[in-house]
């Protein structure tokens, strides 16, 4: 289990990784997107040790990705529902799924994402909402935002120098 926290870093990627936690968290969220809500459903689907599942669910609730809601008083039982923040991670998992299918399936595709109605295979692509153009590494640069600190400004200058020096070609 990772003990390093990236919460204090100014990089949104680092903060997102800190929020998500570890691999089990993404698999729990994947199962939540597929309809799992109860502890035993997650445990059965994932084969995850109960103490690990308990910790990961607690973390996801504390971070605001899942909401814990009681569904039975006797015996006391709760379910875990996606929050809007958790639901907004769905496109990330779709792209991660497609990347895994593209590069990590030497025996062929075991699972595909399809549309519910006609079963059309879905292939993800991240696009710029404004232009509709694909977002690729050669079409993106980072720049300091309005809340940037001197450290972020310095890092941005370092990255800009790398790109201008031909490292990005």
> What pLDDT, on the 0 to 100 scale, is given for residue 6?
73
CA distance 84 to 132: 24
Domain that holds residue 94: 90-124
Domain of residue 59, CATH code: 1.10.10.10
Burial code of 11-36, b = ≥16 C-beta within 10 A, e = fewer? eeeeeeebbbbeebbbbbbbbbeeeb
Place 168 in a pLDDT band, splitting at 50, 70 and 90: very low
Is 16 in the same domain as 81?
Answer: yes
Residue 130 domain flag = no
Residue 102 domain flag = yes
Provide the number of structural domains found in the chain: 3
Place 109 in a pLDDT band, splitting at 50, 70 and 90: confident
Is 53 in the same domain as 113?
Answer: no
């Amino acid at each position: 289990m990772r003990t390093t926290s990236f919460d204090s870093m100014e990089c949104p990627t680092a903060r997102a990784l800190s929020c998500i936690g570890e691999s089990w968290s993404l698999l729990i969220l994947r199962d939540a997107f597929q309809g799992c809500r109860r502890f035993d459903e997650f445990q059965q689907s994932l084969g995850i040790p109960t103490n690990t599942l308990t910790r990961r669910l607690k973390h996801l609730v504390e971070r605001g990705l899942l909401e814990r809601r009681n569904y039975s008083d006797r015996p006391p039982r709760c379910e875990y529902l996606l929050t809007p923040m958790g639901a907004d991670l769905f496109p990330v998992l779709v792209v991660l799924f497609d990347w895994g299918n593209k590069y990590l399936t030497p025996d062929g595709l075991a699972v595909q994402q399809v549309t519910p109605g006609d079963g059309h295979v879905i292939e993800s692509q991240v696009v710029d909402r404004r232009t509709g153009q694909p977002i690729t590494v050669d079409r993106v640069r980072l720049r300091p935002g309005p809340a940037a600190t001197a450290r972020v400004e310095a890092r941005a200058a370092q990255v800009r120098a790398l790109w201008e020096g031909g490292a990005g070609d």
